[in-house]
């Protein structure tokens, strides 16, 4: 396996905070619960941060059996751990995500 996890910046919430999201795959079976991803069509879903399980005030997780970009050799059964986070910008250089 080459990719363990994917993490990305959705947007700058303000000049001091970035909104991140990401996922990783876990060899497991989802027994109950609902994903924070809410389907809007057969191929599109929107993240509902209020449905995620908060691990801290700025970091939430959700589990799903809807798997994205699974590596061919990943062991089964598999679930996906999705996360979102508000992370402060702490670098001294200017936040380049503000203008995007």
Which pLDDT score is estimated for 96? 81
| Positions of the chain with pLDDT under 70 | 1-3, 99-100
Query: Which pLDDT value is given to residue 32?
Result: 92
Max alpha carbon distance in the chain (Å)? 45
pLDDT tens-digit readout, 15-32? 789 999 999 999 999 999
pLDDT at position 2 is 67
Scored b (16 or more CB within 10 A) or e, 16-30 reads ebbbbbebebeeeeb
Query: Model confidence over 50-59: pLDDT tens digits?
Result: 999 999 999 9
Q: Is the pTM of this model over 0.75?
A: yes
Domain boundaries, the chain: 5-88
């Amino acid at each position: 396996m080459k990719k363990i996890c994917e993490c990305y910046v959705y947007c700058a919430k303000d000049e001091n905070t970035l909104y991140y999201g990401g996922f990783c795959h876990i060899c497991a079976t989802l027994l109950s619960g609902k994903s924070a991803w809410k389907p809007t069509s057969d191929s599109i879903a929107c993240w509902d941060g209020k449905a995620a399980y908060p691990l801290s005030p700025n970091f939430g997780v959700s589990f799903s059996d809807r798997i994205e970009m699974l590596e061919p050799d990943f062991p089964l059964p598999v679930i996906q751990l999705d996360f979102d986070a508000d992370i402060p910008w702490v670098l001294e250089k200017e936040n380049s995500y503000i203008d995007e």
